Amino acid sequence: MRRLIYRSTASPGLDRVEMFRLVYQARVSNEARGLCGFLIQIEDRIFQVLEGKTWKLVATFENIRRDPRHFGVEVLDERCVDDAAFASWRMRYFDGRNIPRMLAQITDAAGGNVPPLVQHAILEFLGPELILPIMEPAAKTTPPAVPLRPEAALPSSPRPC
């Protein structure tokens, strides 16, 4: 089993309608070839995780790499894995409109255990301008009513007496 992560840039002709057509066809092909994964599109930026048996995946990715509907294909990671993390998705498509929901669905699909490299690649693809607005509310929560004692941060230090 193999997992490949890449990013690319959509060609100008790859509008919303064409993208839906592409994803529909990809699902049919992936079903037949035992491939799975997901694709995120944010404006013209594309990110895809593709998983499956090595030779099916390599052959399909050769098609994908040469496909003129996108360009600048950059492989972010490619490795052997024991199991597919996204086996339930023939090719899930996210248009990046609701990032928190997207991240929750990706986590659910992976059984709460998104492989660290996939997490890292997604966060890097999204970048701080999309990630920080999600994190800000947590950072703004009111501090605990009882302030932490400084020594509480030093578990290995001897207790003051």
Ligand X SMILES: Cc1cc2nc3c(=O)[nH]c(=O)nc-3n(C[C@H](O)[C@H](O)[C@H](O)COP(=O)(O)O)c2cc1C
For position 3 contacting ligand X by CB under 6 A, the verdict is: no
For position 48 contacting ligand X by CB under 6 A, the verdict is: yes
Strand partners, 6: 48, 75
For position 95 contacting ligand X by CB under 6 A, the verdict is: no
- Least Å distance between CB 17 and ligand X? 14
Q: How far apart are CA 18 and CA 41, in angstroms?
A: 13
- Least Å distance between CB 16 and ligand X? 13
Ramachandran quadrant class, 107 (left: phi over 0; alpha: psi -120 to 50; beta: rest): alpha
The helix (H) or strand (E) run that includes residue 51 is: strand 45-52
Which member of 2, 3, 7, 70 binds ligand X (CB under 6 A)?
Answer: 70
In the structure encoding, which two tokens stand for residue 144, read together? 């605990």
For position 64 contacting ligand X by CB under 6 A, the verdict is: yes
3-state secondary structure of 77: strand
Nearer to ligand X, 67 or 95 (CB): 67
Q: Identify the DSSP state of 45.
A: E
For position 85 contacting ligand X by CB under 6 A, the verdict is: no
For position 5 contacting ligand X by CB under 6 A, the verdict is: no
Nearer to ligand X, 60 or 109 (CB): 60
Q: How far apart are CA 66 and CA 59, in angstroms?
A: 11
The binding site for ligand X (CB under 6 A) comprises 22, 26, 29-30, 39, 46, 48, 50, 60, 63-64, 67, 69-70, 91
